Structure 1
Amino acid sequence: MSISAGPVRGLLDAVQRGDNDGFAALFGEDGAVDDWGRVFTGRDEVYGWSAREFLGLGGRLTLRQATTDGTVLTVDITTRGGYNGPATLTFTLTDDGTRIRRMRMTD
């Protein structure tokens, strides 16, 4: 799994553009955002969460480091807009690798 291509790279690019439609489209039909324990499942909920709490507040990410462990990609970032500060995003992709199954946000 690589951050140079695929849905995680697409997500980072959508965030930098402020593209909420593009952001939500990268999740599978039952994809989820786990925002420090609050889970938003399905593209409509992911879109709504982002519109209210992330991209809708001007959220942006700065990539610090990315690591892969099997089928899980972990990205250390700094974020601004909504939450400001360092965070870790852990991505699990769909079996075919084309969509995000889950994005978990933690410290």
Structure 2
Amino acid sequence: MTAPPDPIRRFVEATNEGDTAAFLDTFTADALLSDWGRTFNGRAEIARWNQSDNIGVQSHLSIVRVAAVDDTYQVRIAVKGNGFNGEGDMTFTLDGELISSLVIT
């Protein structure tokens, strides 16, 4: 398995620690997050998603596998918590040390 790059590792750690500020700091200011077709643009909208679908429902994430193609990473994630439970795919696009796009399918 490819090791997750630092921004993805910090995304998972912040979620698991329930640290909203650290979670939001993993994204660029104008980042895009798409969760099964629901689109959130920028940190303010991502913060709302985080409250309703991630830290706000006590999600705990575990990385199952990572595959890299240039600055895009296909990550299989196992989720436990008071919301979605199971595995899903997250496609991260990075801009340096930050996440510029996250597509959840």
Q: Secondary structure at the match of 1:12?
A: helix
Deviation of residue 31 (structure 1)?
0.6
Which residue type is aligned with residue 35 of structure 2? D
TM-score by length of 1: 0.89
1:38 aligned partner: 38
Which residue type is aligned with residue 104 of structure 2? M
Structure 2 distance, partners of 1:91, 1:61, is: 15
Between the two proteins, the alignment pairs up a number of residues equal to: 103
Deviation of residue 2 (structure 1)?
5.1
Structure 2 distance, partners of 1:101, 1:2, is: 19
1:68 aligned partner: 68
Structure 2 distance, partners of 1:76, 1:27, is: 19
Which residue type is aligned with residue 87 of structure 2? P
TM-score by length of 2: 0.90
Structure 1 distance, partners of 2:9, 2:78, is: 16
Deviation of residue 88 (structure 1)?
0.6
Structure 2 distance, partners of 1:58, 1:68, is: 28
Alignment CA distance shift 1:39-1:25 (3 Å): same
Q: In percent, how many aligned pairs have the same letter?
A: 31
| RMSD over equivalenced CA pairs, Å | 1.5
Alignment of 1:49-88 (within 5 A): 49-81=49-81, 82-88=83-89
Q: Secondary structure at the match of 1:83?
A: coil
Deviation of residue 6 (structure 1)?
2.1
